[in-house]
Amino acid sequence: MMFFIDTANLDQIKEANDLGILDGVTTNPSLMAKEGISGKNNQLKRYKEICDIVDGDVSAEVISTDFEGMIKEGIELSEIAPNIVVKIPMIKDGIKAISHLTAKGISTNCTLIFSAGQALIAAKAGATYVSPFIGRIDDTNWDGMSLIEEIAEIFAMQDFDTDILAASIRNAKHIVDAAKAGADIVTCPLNSILGLLKHPLTDIGLEKFLADHAKANA
């Protein structure tokens, strides 16, 4: 399973990249706004900065919701760097845009996926990735992880090449559960990735090893 980081924050991207486990980055308009990035030039600049840090795929989302606008933006974004993936919302014109960009050889990530049907039609249109939003489904008292399982079953059965990119990850358990459910990629906040490292018995064990070493070498 691949690990992406879900942020537009350069320090966090560098920190995850320095761990040697980072395969890519996803962003969205909310994450760009959180970093205080506004205006087209600043947005394009930030995507370029991210692509300069990470070799893997970097999702950059379109703002347009009409076909022509999405194609124009998508082509412009794809010209920033070869590892840019154009992130397109799950709407009717979005599906049309994914088909069009796929035919032009441009990678796409269909975002805001909340059902197996949405994932199926995005895959049929040729999306490189589909992004089911686990945490936001859990927030509505439904089971986000069962959606990953359902999509994984359909894609395997129907032999789709589209990768399942589990998004809206909120904690380390989500990452482990997404791995078990068949996600190809998880995109996570840095804290959720770092949460994977934590166990109290590891801390207690290390403290004891170091104390015993110090005693023996006093």
The set of catalytic residues is 87
Asked if 133 interacts with ligand G3P (CB under 6 A), we say yes
- In total, the chain counts a number of residues equal to 218
Least distance from C-beta 139 to ligand G3P, angstroms?
Answer: 8
Beta-carbon neighbour count of residue 12 at 10 Å? 18
Pick one of 135, 150, 154, 195: the residue that binds ligand G3P (CB under 6 A): 135
Exposure string of 66-100, with b = 16+ CB inside 10 Å and e = fewer, is ebeebbebbeebbebeebbbbbbbbbebbbbbbeb
Write down the least CB distance from residue 188 to ligand G3P, Å: 8
DSSP element (H, E) containing 186: strand 185-188
Q: Are 132 and 113 in contact (CB under 8 A)?
A: yes
Instruction: Take residue 25 and report the two structure tokens written for it.
Output: 């980055």
At residue 157, φ and ψ (nearest 5 deg) are -65, -40
Q: Report CA Rg, the chain.
A: 19
| Interface region with ligand G3P, contact rule CB under 6 A, candidates 48-56, 90-98, 128-136, 173-181 | 128-136
Give me the numbers of helices (H) and strands (E) for the chain, helices first please.
Answer: 11, 8
Is residue 107 a contact point for ligand G3P (CB under 6 A)? no
56 binding ligand G3P? (CB under 6 A): no
Least distance in angstroms from the C-beta of 136 to ligand G3P: 5
Instruction: Considering only the stretches 44-52, 70-78, 95-103, 133-141, report the one whose residues sit in contact with ligand G3P under the rule CB under 6 A.
Output: 133-141
- Shortest distance (Å) from residue 8 CB to ligand G3P: 10
Task: Give the one residue of 136, 150, 190, 195 binding ligand G3P; rule: CB under 6 A.
Answer: 136
Instruction: Give 76's contacts (C-beta < 8 A, 6+ positions apart).
Output: 44
Region 156-215 residues binding ligand G3P, contact defined as CB under 6 A: 167-168, 187
Site string for ligand G3P, 19-48 (x = CB under 6 A): -------x-x--------------------
Distance CA 48, CA 45 (A): 5
Give contact residues for ligand G3P (rule: CB under 6 A).
6, 26, 28, 133, 135-136, 167-168, 187
